[in-house]
Amino acid sequence: MCGGKFTMISVLTLTYRRPHLLEEAIESFLRQDFSGESEMVIINDSPKAEYVFKHPQIRIVNVKEMFTSIGSKLKFGFSQCKYKYIYRLDDDDLLAPRALSHTWDDIIAHPGYEIYRSDGHYFFVDNKFEGIYSNVNTGNVYTKNYLSRIEIPDSSFGEDYTMTFSFNANIYKSPREQKTMIYRWGMNTYHISGMGNINEIARRAWTDLIVENVAKERNTSVEEGLLMLHPHFQEDYYQQISIN
């Protein structure tokens, strides 16, 4: 387990209208064994919901107006993080066991890089482990110095690829057997990356329609107003990884 006063990592999580998944992302942060300083910064821009969870290492920023894009939301989120290294975790994904400790071990062993990322992630479909795969998001950790020299596009399609691979970043790709992120697909929810390059108005409408249709299928109401979050896992994701 890593330690020391200079071990500091922020986890940035963007969220929108799916608190049941956000609770799982928070739970994965709370289960970390990281002995350094860490924080989880959550950016919620649903005008209809205000999330609350009291924990000294977790800060939820409830914004009353939606951002113009995922890119602009990311840019704001990065500005809210206080540590040099920022791990991006979407609200429908999870930190793997010891994710922050493994990340810091890589930073210590290979200093001076602008981005740190695993060479793959644990890929789950409908909460069932499928294997180890890779895409643009494998638990990317950005340094603040790097973020200060690039321009994150005001876009909700391909913004993650652009900010990671379009600015000649000095990237360390960890071959470590243990990956740092659980990437999830399916789960009867929206996936922005699966919507393609559509305009922002259409993306928002499509996202809201999915949220509302899922609520109808479950015979529940869309959660709005002041919402107290209760972090927990719906499945034993970590056990699936260890078994397989």
Give pLDDT tens digits for 169-220.
Answer: 999 999 999 999 999 999 989 888 888 888 888 888 889 899 998 888 877 8
Which residue's structure tokens are 């809210």?
80
Q: Are 91 and 15 a contacting pair, CB within 8 Å?
A: yes
Residue 3 resides in a domain: no
Q: Are 92 and 187 a contacting pair, CB within 8 Å?
A: yes
Percent of the chain with pLDDT over 70: 97
pLDDT in tens, 57-81: 999 999 999 999 999 999 999 999 9
Q: Where are the beta strands (DSSP E) in 103-228?
A: 115-118, 121-125, 128-133, 141-143, 171-174, 181-185, 225-228
Residue 91 resides in a domain: yes
List of residues 6+ apart from 122 with CB closer than 8 A: 96, 129, 132, 179, 181, 182, 183, 241
Give the per-residue pLDDT at 218: 79
**What is the domain range of residue 215?**
8-243
**Total domains, the chain:** 1
Give the per-residue pLDDT at 5: 46
The pTM assigned to this predicted structure is: 0.94
Q: How confident is the model at residue 6 (pLDDT cuts 50, 70, 90)?
A: low
Q: How confident is the model at residue 4 (pLDDT cuts 50, 70, 90)?
A: very low
Amino acid at 108: I
Residue 1 resides in a domain: no
Start-to-end Cα distance in the chain: 24
Domain with residue 232: its CATH number is 3.90.550.10
Mean pLDDT of 114-142: 97
